[in-house]
Structure 1
Amino acid sequence: MHQGLGGHSFASASNRFWQVLHLAGFTPRRLDSAEERSLLDYRCGITAAVHRPTKQGAEVSLREFRAARPSLEARVRLYKPRVIAFLGKRAIAAMLNTQGIRWGLQPASFAGAIAWVLPNPSGLNRAFGLDALVSVYSELHAALADDRKQLG
């Protein structure tokens, strides 16, 4: 995830993150990027692998993603989320030094968290329309809901 120019994640008006999160069932209403900390109220968190504002994820080099891996793993181990979702394949592929990343649930965990890879909701990502994004994000939401039911 990248931090937008307003100091908030996914702050660009063309980014569909907040809309997709709501439509997929993660939040009861569409949040604004300035409300990102309120995601914690919905049992979600947000972080960036590389901590510098970018307009596009492509502005972050593969080398930067590789260098960021220890710090991201440390945060995941500290906060112990059950699931981590990477938005786009580029960061996780660079961190794991592999090209075989597929969408959805990953076969291996990341720093002890179940790993998912979801399409980046950037308005620049024309490969996924709004309905397709909502569908894939809804799969993760449903998996989390099923997991919560099993845990009681």
Structure 2
Amino acid sequence: MLPDVIAPRLRVLFCGINPGLMSEATGHHFARPGNRFWPALHQSGFTPAQLRPSQQSSLLGYQIGITNVVDRPSARADELTREELIAGGRLLVAKVGKFAPSWLAVLGVGAYRSAFAAPRAQVGEQAQAIGQTRVWVLPNPSGLNAHYTLPRLVDEFAALREKAFS
């Protein structure tokens, strides 16, 4: 199981869908070289330099963290079942309740739709909150998500950063 990078009352808790096989092997979130999470995080202004996955613990110093909806690693997120996403959503709600981040940013609209029974959800701020935690859906930064280029990802991340740190 890939450990969370988490602490109480973060500004943003980023939530991946599930660990990839490279993340499982290295013990670091978003470890696959083609994943655009770390470049988007930096280029959108969340971090002053682009971090490597091995530097993930330094995120806490920027008031941000990382978790996943589902703990089970897979080569592709579409290998997860709807039931796994729903169960993961329930566990995520409990985790958010315990750590109370200001924002939960789910990285993948399809996973969010399944995990939170929100079939019409779109990228961006959601009307649904988890207690006092506001929810934002971001595109999946996987290199397999060809619909979003890095500049488009950066724009979406930056919109969240402006809300979370204003």
Distance (Å, rounded) in 2 between the aligned partners of 1:62 and 1:56: 14
Q: For residue 141 of structure 1, report the CA deviation from its aligned partner.
A: 0.7
Considering only aligned residues, what root-mean-square deviation do their CA atoms show, in Å?
A: 1.2
- From 136, 156, 160, the equivalent of 1:116 is 136
- What does residue 54 of structure 1 align with? 74
CA 1:112–1:59: 2 relative to 1, 3 Å: farther
| Moved segments of 4+, more than 3 Å | none
- What does residue 112 of structure 2 align with? 92
- From 10, 30, 49, the equivalent of 1:29 is 49
- From 26, 33, 38, the equivalent of 1:13 is 33
Answer 1 or 2: which has greater strand percent. Answer: 2
Q: TM-score, normalised by structure 1?
A: 0.90
Distance (Å, rounded) in 2 between the aligned partners of 1:66 and 1:130: 29
Q: For residue 50 of structure 1, report the CA deviation from its aligned partner.
A: 0.9
CA contact (8 A) 1:7 1:53 kept: no
Can you give the 5+ residue segments of structure 1 that lack an aligned partner in the other structure? 147-152
CA contact (8 A) 2:109 2:137 kept: yes
Q: TM-score, normalised by structure 2?
A: 0.83
For 1:87-133, what per-residue CA distance to the aligned partner results, in whole angstroms no more than 9, with x for missing partners? 01122211222311011000111343100000011111100111100
Greater relative contact order (CA < 8 Å, ≥ 6 in sequence) = 2
- What does residue 45 of structure 1 align with? 65
> SS in structure 2 opposite 1:108?
strand
Whether 1:129 aligns to 2:152 is: no
